[in-house]
Amino acid sequence: MSKQLAILGSTGSIGTQTLDIVRQYPDRYSVYALTANTSIDLLVRQAREFRPAAVCIADETYYPQLLDALADTDIKVWAGSQSIEHIVQAGEVDIVVAAMVGFAGLRPTIAAIEAGKTIALANKETLVVAGAVMQDSALRYHAPILPVDSEHSAIFQSIVGENAESIEKILLTASGGPFRTFTKEQLLSVTAEQALRHPNWQMGAKITIDSATMMNKGFEVIEAKWLFGVQYDQIEVLVHPQSIVHSAVQFRDGAVKAQLGTPDMRLPILYALSYPERLPSTLPRIDWRTIRSLDFEQADTERFPCLQLAYDAIAKGGNMPCLLNAANEVANLAFREGRCTFMDIPEVIDQTMHKAVFLHEPSLDDLFESDNEARRIASSMVG
């Protein structure tokens, strides 16, 4: 029997590539539900192609338009964030692909975990903000969390069959983004248009900016801590411009295992959906004849202070990663809209982390309050 998917954020980069996988394996996967924030035209086209049982638009102002566009179908039409939480708990759903962008993905992901669903996790912010809550819930409700990020998928693939206690270090690779060779002086004047030109990956706007600032890698450090049960100081970031080695694990005997592949997100998506199987695919292979070198260098937290801020946040613990994430979402958007500079982003985040109230053991409700407070503080600095 095919597995039924609820794809949260189906119109984004991960969502559309997940649907590519469904097209390639129609006997393996079918779509139970699709959700989007505001991209109603694409959502309608997806709904007509895949004929899910339900679709949901998070922005309720689009509900009448969506309802009218699908009036000639038997697809149930929903709207609002609470409806997304309801959909992921449907008995028919086998796998929830959590691909919503940012903090908005937290409640639906928690709802899916509480329903015991398998989570294919692409929304890293949920683990950044509420890693302890999510891991506790996943254990309580026996809900597997399978990473979709290429780096975390690589780590996961490298430790399958290994004893967790044998892990000495995680080597988390980063492309370095579009500004890898820029000086601090050059970074003062870069534009959002430049930052959105990632050299290797095709991603959404928010994560592409996070890649340019290296905040994305900082988030992945925090995510790796929760996913793989290691301490933050066991995670080393290595800049690897070719994006062939997606990450590696160093074991206590000195051996290193790595996962290599082309920079194509469909591979980790497929692995998360098919685990523990490996399905045959037509995805691009590495052409070893064209690879002249695999280069690695230490990440520079002087030029890219967002990475250090992420390490500081996870070292502090409590609600600090939540404050980090909220301030980053505000500053990231402000930079894309021209309301702050590239180098203002870490400054806004740093100031917010110092000004907001710190909570050592926050509840889920506390985290939502912390998120609101951090957004207010950060917004006051970017106009």
| Domain coordinates in residue numbering, the chain | 3-147, 152-264+283-301, 317-383
CA distance 91 to 123: 23
Residue 16 CB partners (closer than 8 Å, separation 6+): 10
Determine contact, residues 249/151, Cβ cutoff 8 Å.
Answer: no
Fold of the domain built from segment(s) 317-383: Rna Polymerase Sigma Factor; Chain: A (1.10.1740)
**pLDDT tops 90 at residue 177:** no
Domains 3-147 and 317-383 share a fold: no
Return the residue matching tokens 């290797």: 200
Q: Out of 3.40.50.720, 3.60.15.10, 3.10.105.10, 3.90.850.10, which CATH number does the structure's domain 3-147 have?
A: 3.40.50.720
**pLDDT tops 90 at residue 102:** no
Q: Which residues pair with 78 in a beta bridge?
A: 56
CA distance 202 to 262: 13
Q: Measuring CA to CA, which residue among 200, 193, 237, 233 is closest to residue 215?
A: 237
Letter for the amino acid at 311? Y
Determine contact, residues 221/138, Cβ cutoff 8 Å.
Answer: no
Return the residue matching tokens 């997100």: 265
| CB atoms closer than 10 angstroms to residue 279 | 12
pLDDT average, residue stretch 347-376: 96
| pLDDT tens digits for range 307-348 | 999 999 999 999 999 999 999 999 999 999 999 999 999 999
Phi, psi dihedral angles at 303 (to 5 degrees): -80, -25
| CB atoms closer than 10 angstroms to residue 286 | 11
Mean confidence (pLDDT) of the chain: 95
User: In the Cβ-directed half-sphere of 4, how many Cα atoms lie within 13 Å?
Assistant: 16
Letter for the amino acid at 74? D
Determine contact, residues 99/36, Cβ cutoff 8 Å.
Answer: no
Is the bond preceding residue 276 a cis peptide, omega within 30 degrees?
yes
CA distance 79 to 59: 7
**pLDDT tops 70 at residue 202:** no
Write down the pTM of the prediction. 0.92
Q: Measuring CA to CA, which residue among 62, 99, 102 is closest to residue 79?
A: 62
Question: What pLDDT, on a 0 to 100 scale, did the predictor assign at position 43?
Answer: 98
Question: Residue 359's pLDDT band (boundaries 50, 70, 90)?
Answer: very high
Question: What pLDDT, on a 0 to 100 scale, did the predictor assign at position 316?
Answer: 97
Stronger pLDDT, 200 or 138, i.e. the higher one? 138
